[in-house]
Structure formats: structure tokens, C-alpha cells
Amino acid sequence: MKKKTVLFASCLLGTLAFSSCEKNLYDESKQPEKELQMKDLDIPADFQWKSTRVSETTVSSTIPTPTIVSFFLDEACSEEEKLATIPVYAETSSLPLSIPTYAKTLYAQYKNGSGAMIKATMPINPDGSFSLSINDNNNTTSRAVTRGHDIEDDIDYDKGEGVIYHPKNGWGTIMFEDQFPSLGDYDFNDFVVNYKVQFEVNKQKNKDYKSKLIVIGLRLKAVGGIFPYSPYLRLKEIKKSEAEVEMIDAKTGRPFKVNCVENKKNYLIIDCSELIKNLPKGESQYFNTERGALVSTNDLPEIIITIDLNVAKEVEEILEDDEFDLYLKRNDDGTEIHMNGIEPVGYKYPFKDSNLLPVYESDGDEEDDNYYFSKERLIWGLRVPGNVAHAIEKANFLKAYPGFRKWATSSGKNEQNWYGQGNADKSLLIYN
């Protein structure tokens, strides 16, 4: 009996030892944690990847003469955070502004009759609207305008006109992945462009703010892709026959020949490939994506495009993201990459690719919003209303911007300022 007890105990100890070893071998808590990748994210089906919205804004005044008012995103009313400088009239008007989704408050400045600067604070409603009412009887038409970027010099305030910025007076950023319809590595540095748009606006009584002159700045920040793409700009609310276009080098003022793309709908589509000519890559095969081959901000190519319309158009129509379509076209096979929800120009979209969301339903109806969405609802173009640092080669974008995951997986409800909230990993990013 004693022998059996000892034998049983020995077997039990052996079993426990084996189980312990087995647990050490297969316990997930003791294995290296898998690094979360963009492709692992669970993206809600309704997420549109928008970081701006066009406000439903009303402005009014009891003053019989126009009051020049400037609107800002920050309480300090800094020049780069300016959204508009416009005349407000003795009537209630609708003012279209491009506002980041994270913004909860806007600020306005104007001068009263004695020359003192008045600051107003305006909460933004959940639907993106806000209102400003000017009731100071001492207001005059004296200008409270400060100059911003050089391209604002094209706006003549002496005519009683104003300017509306998109996305603001400072730069916005568009980042692309270049392996469509494959997902790629998702470091979002394959093609990175800064953009800013300024609308000269004029308003007649009981009319909306309209623009006849549009000035667009584009600045190339990085090219980390492996395919030969060129940038193009399509303005869907403007026909080619409605505009005269000029393009210059922002640093030298040298004019470029403007080439427009012929298309069936006669959209104004401008070839912006001057941005990528003669890039100073140095020893790198890429442009400004590797620590050992950085490009100074002063050496980033920049162009200015001036569009003079034959007939003024409502600014709200042009401000919508879908209408300002900066896209890529591959030089060798014609592949186009657009922001999500925007149809290509001449490229035959791969409708039957099982890795993409279906654009056409089973009954043949077209789902326009499904263009350039993977079946996981991932995208190839990301637009941000700020001068966003881009990732170095092969960086994990989710590590570079920790708030990005919560923003994307919450359908844009959380971490709306993921790109500017101060917790980015600077070791994975390049700032220009």
C-alpha cells in the first residue's frame, strides 16, 4: 500500500510538473504581445473618416454699415488659426466656415466705434452651427485686419470684400497610401501634401457669401511610396470653361504652364505635378521620410494656384471635402487614388475586387460613398485640418499617434484632435 501511495504521489508530481511546463509554454500572458496594426482595427460601418465639417452659421448686425469681423479657432486669436475675415451686414446671413470636428468654441474679433477691439466667444452647437450678433451702436467700418500668408495679398479689403479660409489660415495636410487596391503598410507617408485655400468673398444684400477669386497653396512634405504618382486637383463645382487659372512657384514667383485634364463632365482638373519635379532626395530613394535624409522646411516645393471665376459661386458649395478633390494618378498605368467616397476621373475602378466595399448593390443602385473603402472600411487618403507631422519609413502609425485608434474605432466621436493633442511619439514623426 505504501509503495502504491509513493508511486501515485510521484505520478502526481510528474503530472503537475508537466502541466506547469505546459502552462509556461502556452500561457498567452507570457508570450510577446502582438503589435497592433491598422488592419487589426474594428472600424464602424458608418465612419466616414471626416475631421472637418462645414458649419451652419448665422451672423447678424444692427449696424447700418458693414462691420469687419475675424473668426478664430483659438482664444488667443492667432493668425494661423484664423477661419475668416468678412464684412457682417445689418441683416442675418449664413456664413459657411470649415471647422475641425474637435472644435467646441469659436472666437470673433472686431473693432467698435472708438477703435477698441471687441472679442466674442461663441459655443458651437452639436450640429456644428453657431451664431454671432453684433449690437454695438458705436461700431464703424474701420478695418480690423492683419495680414497672414503671402497669398492673402491677392485679397483687396478696400473693396469691402473679405476672405474665408479652408481649412484655416494655417496649413492642412493630406496623406496617402499608394498601393491601392492593396492595403500597403499604412504609415501614411507615401505622398504627403500641405494645402490651404483662400476665398475672396463678396456679399450683396440678402445674398449668400460668394467668391470669384480662389487662391490655393500646395506644399509637398514627403514622398515615401514606391510607385510613380503625380498629384492633381479637381474642383467639382467649377467647370473648366468658367475659370482662368494661373500657377506660380511660391518661393521664386516663376510662372508655370497650367495643364488641365480633359474629362467628360468638364470639371476643372489641374495638373499639379510641378510639385514633384527635381526633388532633392540626396542619397535616399524617398523624399523627406528618413531620419538620415531630412529636407528643411524652406526646401519643400510649394506652388500657388490662382483661379479667377467668370461668375461668382457660393463658397459653401466649394468648401465641402468631396468638392475639393486633391488626388493621385499613377504615371505608368493610370491608377487613381482619391479620398474615401470620391469617384475616380478616368480610372476604371476595380468594382469586382473582393477586398473593396461593393460600389454597386445587388439591384444595381450605386453607393457613391463606398469608393476607396476596403472591406474592413480602411482608406487610402487621410485629410487633416492642420500641419500634421508625417511618419518615418515603416513606422507604426498607431504608435506615432496613440489617439488615432480611439478616433477611428469610435466612428470619430473620441480623440477628435488625435493629431494635435500633444501625446504623439516624436521619435516616429518628421516635423516641417
The model's pLDDT over 58-70, given as tens digits with 9 standing for 90+, comes to 898 888 788 899 9
pLDDT of residue 320: 75
Neighbours of 200 (CB within 10 A): 23
* Beta carbons within 10 angstroms of residue 328's beta carbon: 25
The answer for residues whose C-beta is within 8 angstroms of residue 50's C-beta and 6 or more apart is 101, 321, 412
So what's the pLDDT on residue 221? 97
In this prediction, residue 113 carries a pLDDT of 65
Q: pLDDT value at position 109?
A: 94
Q: Burial code of 159-198, b = ≥16 C-beta within 10 A, e = fewer?
A: eebbbbbbbbbbbbbbbbbbbbeebbbbbbbbbbbbbbbb
pLDDT in tens, 77-118: 999 999 999 998 888 888 889 999 999 999 999 987 677 788
CA–CA separation, 195 vs 300, rounded Å?
13
Q: Which domains does the chain have, with CATH numbers?
A: 51-135 (2.60.40.180), 171-359+367-430 (no CATH)
C-alpha cell, 172: 492642412
Lookup: cell for 258: 497650367
Residue 27's pLDDT is what? 52
Among 33, 22, 69, 41, which Cα is nearest to 378's? 41
pLDDT at 282: 66
Q: Which of 193, 177, 59 is nearest to 122 (CA)?
A: 59
CA angle 123, 74, 193 (to 5 degrees): 115
Quote the pLDDT of residue 160. 61
Phi and psi (nearest 5°) for 132?
-135, 130
Q: List strand residue ranges (DSSP E) for 8-51, in order.
A: none
Residue 405 host element (H or E): helix 403-409
Q: Are 162 and 182 in contact (CB under 8 A)?
A: no
Q: What are phi and psi of 21, to 5 degrees?
A: -65, -45
Instruction: Give me the pLDDT at residue 309, please.
Output: 96
| Average pLDDT along the chain, 432 residues, taken 10 residues at a time | 40 39 46 75 95 88 86 95 92 89 95 80 92 68 36 42 93 97 92 97 80 96 94 95 97 97 95 92 83 92 97 84 90 96 95 93 75 96 96 95 97 96 94 94
pLDDT of residue 431: 96
